[in-house]
Amino acid sequence: MRIENLDTEKRNPNSLQIDRVSTAEMLRIINQEDQTIAQQVGEKLELIAEAVDQGSARYKKGGRLIYIGAGTSGRLGLLDAVELVPTYGISPDRAIGLIAGGNQAFVRAVEGAEDSKELAVEDLKAISLSKEDVVIGLAASGRTPYVIGGLEYANDIGALTIAISCNPQSQIGQIAIIPIDVPVGPEVVTGSTRMKAGTAQKMILNMISTGIMIKLGYVYQNLMINVQTTNEKLVDRGIRIICEATGSSRQKAAETMKLTNNEVNTAIVMIEKKLDVDQARTLIKDNEGALAKIID
């Protein structure tokens, strides 16, 4: 499909006068359009659930989450990958964001990079893509050559491929094993897919990565028990998480967390099961990190 025929490139009749109305009305138009996004994403929950289930199974076997995209889509993938590390305590090499043009393209556009299928293959070969990995291809248009090339190569390798697009029956959706095409419709500012399309992609990425982390046991109840306590704010959050999970005093939570070298999940198990550090760590390992199994 030619790009001018894509829904995300069409003019939005609801915003034709957006340059002539008051500031409050301008923002109301944007807000009303944004309110349609969650509903559209909600129509794809079964496919998103499939991505979580298959993705968590691959990750549990040692696979990685690899995001690939260009422009806004690529930046959203990089953002999701980077933020999983402090939030869930995973190793940085288990979540990787690839953007057309390299990491410098995160802050400054690299012209023409997204038009190369071969560049995506080179980028995936550089990280030694394997069949255990999960490759999430992101393209609002659903037709970006860089993403198409990456998904095609990932299929050849045997990796799990997931496509996230904002146009129905997208090209990348036809390539990927799990196609998630969310038709958000025309943008408030014609063709500015950093807006509704970007929001939809961010919502889906939040669901997939958070869902996988929950499946892997990195969340107890609704607490991020693998959070990396790398600064004063996060140390305080770790202590509060232990208090919430165990009902212990702040002093006991802090003392126990210190014994674990700031491992929040280990501290919770120590308090709840009255164990020492080594016993708690062994129990967590034996239960694949699922504190609900251990405590409940």
Catalytic amino acids? Answer: 83, 114
Question: Interior CA angle at 120 toward 119 and 125, to 5°?
Answer: 100
Say if CB 218 and CB 89 are below 8 A apart.
Answer: yes
Who contacts 194 (Cβ-Cβ below 8 Å, separation ≥6)? 72
* Closest alpha carbon to 79 in 114, 44, 103: 103
